[in-house]
Chains A and B, each alone.
Chain A
Amino acid sequence: MRKKKWTNKSNHFTLDGNVVRLKKNLTIHNTAEFLNDIELLFRKSGESDLSVDLSGLDNIDSAGALAIHRLPENAGRYNISLKIENAGKDIENKLSLFSPVKQKTEQSHTKEGILYLLGDRAGHFLAEYVASFFYLVSDILFWSVRDLFNRKQRRKGEFVNQAISIGVNALPIVMAMAFIIGLVLALQSSSQLRNFGANVYIVDLTVIAMMAEMGPLITAIMVAGRSGSSIAAEIATMKVTSEIDALRTMGLNPVRFVVIPKIYGSLVTLPFLTILASVAGIFGGAVAANLYLDITPEIFFNRMPEALYQKDILTGIIKSIAFAFIIVITGAFFGFRVKEGAEGVGRSTTSAVVAAITLVIIADLILGLIFY
């Protein structure tokens, strides 16, 4: 069947016999339309030979030049032999300046078996993450112990700054969250306890849960989100902007200079923050007990000494110390690992928070089992 002849009109060319006469301008703003029109012409022209006359073309840019270079190949797909002719000097110059790249760089692909890839990934993970994590932990432990007895080389005022930043500034939000959790915990338990007539045990439940479990956990999660992210972002930014390199070339150990004050600040403040959070949670429990189980604050706080054991308080404090280490070390680890610019900083920060919260929960499980 003979193909239907080209009858459509184009703003970019006219068809005169088997000569396509390009007109006006061919720039980045109309090249896409031109390519569509000429594709339609190739499909419908029914000619086996065409020539493209550029004499009517006033101006082209790089997109236009490349579109002209593509024409013979595009025409070839429809078995049309295409000639390009009559380019003015200016058009000729631009066609020569913007000619397509002949030898294109290929993206390198490695084709390896799945077992090889798994082994490679595992080896990479062990070498890159596990080994460097333990290296950083040992570095931090060494310097945090050594600097305890070496006041001279400690940065003056930095411990106080970090204690305020990590601990004091987090106090309102941590206490507010703990109060709400304590209230919700008591509220959810109250209906069950009422069914068994064990209303008064709401005190034991709230006090033990807050002191040994929820207080340290909520505090650690809040601090990981707040300060862990800030530690990772600070160190990652310092690395991206070569501040870490500058410290090294000044003979300063970046871990000692940047991380150790944060370790001290968090180790000192997190136990206090945890105790205050636990107290706020217990207050929340007392409010719920008063509202839903008719246990007055007097009864609640009189019962408290019977429910509260030294061991629970100690468990909470020990957990908070472990969590403080985990949060700072994780933040520092991901901060130092940053490789690229702004996006890398964001990625490190996210990884630091996710890893810190995960490790805190795992550590909570382990310590919970130990002190059970």
Chain B
Amino acid sequence: MNKEKIIEVKGLKVSFGEKEVLKNVTFSIEEGDVTVILGGSGSGKSTIMKHMLGLYPVTPNTISIFGQDIVTIDEEQELKFYLKLGVFYQNGALLNSLTVGDNVALPLEQHTNLPADAIEDLVRTKLNLVNLEDAYYLYPSQLSGGMLKRAALARAIIMDPPLLFCDEPGAGLDPVSLANLDELILKLRDQLGMTILMVTHEVTSILRVADKVLFVDNGVIAFEGTLTEARQSEIESLKDFFTVGTGGKKVTH
């Protein structure tokens, strides 16, 4: 069965000064998949994601999300567009002046007419989903790194977005927390049908959750395929990721 393409990127080129970071990036992401963007440090993985989120300027007809060119979205549609996206930032990006509960409630308070008690119920349920209900009244400065990440995930999914972007979700987490996070990501995919795009280095996490792998190398998508295809790929740098990432020795070229 052909799945709907949620994201289509065609010929994305990005330069910072004279340095060409992305030369000609083309790929698509299908509905209900967990897609992982993999690549070395500085390969431009996060840059691709930031362009998709409209945080960096993009030329027309390069990136379309939900069938809509992100450059031509007018102001009226912009809010509706952003409500379909959830973004899970690497450092959490929670507002330090608000409690965890208020941070997670913020999109609901701003974009829905739900009564306050319904908002509180919803926030507590989402915090419970990420095992963080106890932190409802705590401030971000009182949370550990792993708790911050879970609170950030609760905020990212509070509006039940059909599309979730995760920037290095597992960075800095212990293996148990990472496994719990992966389990949650799979739950979001399977039970809520979310399409999830992850930028990550964590090979153990990729092996657990990825349906599809995009490998960025030298400014292009050097590999695009399923996880099984990625593991069997003959591309040396991609092989190294899986070999070293699972505790093996790097292939000497």
Q: Is A173 an interface residue (CB 8 A)?
A: no
When the two chains form their complex, are residues A98 and B96 in contact, meaning their CB atoms are under 8 A apart?
A: no
B140 to chain A, nearest CB (A): 7
Q: Is A81 an interface residue (CB 8 A)?
A: no
| Chain B residues, Cβ within 8 Å of A344 | 96, 141
When the two chains form their complex, are residues B141 and A340 in contact, meaning their CB atoms are under 8 A apart?
A: yes
Q: Is B122 an interface residue (CB 8 A)?
A: yes
A67 and B118 alpha carbons, distance in the complex (Å)? 7
Contact string, A330-372, partner B, CB cutoff 8 A, digits 1/0?
0000000001111110000000000000000000000000000
| Chain A residues, Cβ within 8 Å of B252 | none
B165 to chain A, nearest CB (A): 18
Contact string, A9-50, partner B, CB cutoff 8 A, digits 1/0?
000000000000000000111011101000000000000000
Q: Is B136 an interface residue (CB 8 A)?
A: yes
A28 and B192 alpha carbons, distance in the complex (Å)? 13
Contact of B159 among A28, A94, A341 (CB under 8 A): A28
Closest to A27 in B: B160
Closest to A101 in B: B124
| Chain B residues, Cβ within 8 Å of A32 | 112-115, 118
When the two chains form their complex, are residues A101 and B96 in contact, meaning their CB atoms are under 8 A apart?
A: no
A104 and B137 alpha carbons, distance in the complex (Å)? 11
| Chain B residues, Cβ within 8 Å of A98 | 125, 129
Give the number of chain B interface residues (Cβ < 8 Å): 30
Contact of B191 among A31, A70, A94, A107 (CB under 8 A): A94
A165 and B151 alpha carbons, distance in the complex (Å)? 41
When the two chains form their complex, are residues A70 and B121 in contact, meaning their CB atoms are under 8 A apart?
A: yes
| Chain A residues, Cβ within 8 Å of B115 | 32, 35
A35 and B119 alpha carbons, distance in the complex (Å)? 12
Q: Is B133 an interface residue (CB 8 A)?
A: yes
A70 and B120 alpha carbons, distance in the complex (Å)? 12
Contact string, A88-108, partner B, CB cutoff 8 A, digits 1/0?
000001100111110011011
Q: Is B201 an interface residue (CB 8 A)?
A: no
A61 and B127 alpha carbons, distance in the complex (Å)? 16
Contact of B97 among A27, A31, A107, A343 (CB under 8 A): A343
Of residues 93 through 144 on chain B, the ones whose CB sits less than 8 Å from some CB of chain A are 95-97, 108, 112-115, 118, 121-122, 124-129, 133-137, 139-141
| Chain A residues, Cβ within 8 Å of B124 | 100-101, 104
A348 to chain B, nearest CB (A): 13
| Chain B residues, Cβ within 8 Å of A99 | 125
| Chain A residues, Cβ within 8 Å of B112 | 28-29, 31-32, 63
When the two chains form their complex, are residues A101 and B122 in contact, meaning their CB atoms are under 8 A apart?
A: no
Q: Is A62 an interface residue (CB 8 A)?
A: yes
Closest to A344 in B: B96
Q: Is A66 an interface residue (CB 8 A)?
A: yes
When the two chains form their complex, are residues B96 and A66 in contact, meaning their CB atoms are under 8 A apart?
A: no
Closest to A61 in B: B160
A105 and B123 alpha carbons, distance in the complex (Å)? 12
| Chain A residues, Cβ within 8 Å of B114 | 28, 31-32, 35, 63
| Chain B residues, Cβ within 8 Å of A105 | 133-137
A91 and B201 alpha carbons, distance in the complex (Å)? 35
Closest to B128 in A: A101
Closest to B125 in A: A98
When the two chains form their complex, are residues A100 and B133 in contact, meaning their CB atoms are under 8 A apart?
A: no
| Chain B residues, Cβ within 8 Å of A108 | 137
A100 and B108 alpha carbons, distance in the complex (Å)? 17
When the two chains form their complex, are residues A340 and B126 in contact, meaning their CB atoms are under 8 A apart?
A: no
A107 and B121 alpha carbons, distance in the complex (Å)? 15
Contact string, B155-190, partner A, CB cutoff 8 A, digits 1/0?
000011000000000000000000000000001000
A70 and B115 alpha carbons, distance in the complex (Å)? 12
When the two chains form their complex, are residues A31 and B118 in contact, meaning their CB atoms are under 8 A apart?
A: yes
| Chain A residues, Cβ within 8 Å of B126 | 62
When the two chains form their complex, are residues A62 and B122 in contact, meaning their CB atoms are under 8 A apart?
A: yes
A66 and B108 alpha carbons, distance in the complex (Å)? 14
| Chain B residues, Cβ within 8 Å of A107 | 137
Closest to A347 in B: B97
B139 to chain A, nearest CB (A): 7
Closest to B134 in A: A105
Contact of B118 among A63, A101, A343 (CB under 8 A): A63
A89 to chain B, nearest CB (A): 11
When the two chains form their complex, are residues A62 and B125 in contact, meaning their CB atoms are under 8 A apart?
A: yes
When the two chains form their complex, are residues A63 and B113 in contact, meaning their CB atoms are under 8 A apart?
A: no
Closest to A345 in B: B96
| Chain B residues, Cβ within 8 Å of A341 | 96, 140-141
A104 and B125 alpha carbons, distance in the complex (Å)? 10
Contact string, B223-248, partner A, CB cutoff 8 A, digits 1/0?
00000000000000000000000000
| Chain A residues, Cβ within 8 Å of B160 | 27-28, 61-63
When the two chains form their complex, are residues B122 and A66 in contact, meaning their CB atoms are under 8 A apart?
A: yes
B66 to chain A, nearest CB (A): 15
Contact of B125 among A93, A101, A339, A343 (CB under 8 A): A101
CB-defined A-B contacts under 8 Å, sample of 18: A33-B113, A35-B114, A63-B112, A63-B114, A63-B122, A66-B118, A66-B121, A66-B122, A93-B191, A98-B129, A101-B133, A105-B133, A105-B135, A339-B141, A340-B141, A342-B96, A344-B96, A344-B141
Give 7 closest A-B pairs by Cβ, nearest first: A32-B113, A61-B160, A341-B96, A101-B124, A343-B97, A340-B141, A107-B137
Query: A28-B112, A100-B125 are known contacts; what are 18 more A-B pairs with Cβ within 8 Å?
Result: A27-B160, A29-B112, A32-B112, A32-B115, A35-B114, A62-B125, A67-B118, A70-B118, A94-B191, A97-B192, A98-B125, A101-B121, A104-B133, A340-B140, A341-B141, A343-B95, A343-B96, A343-B97
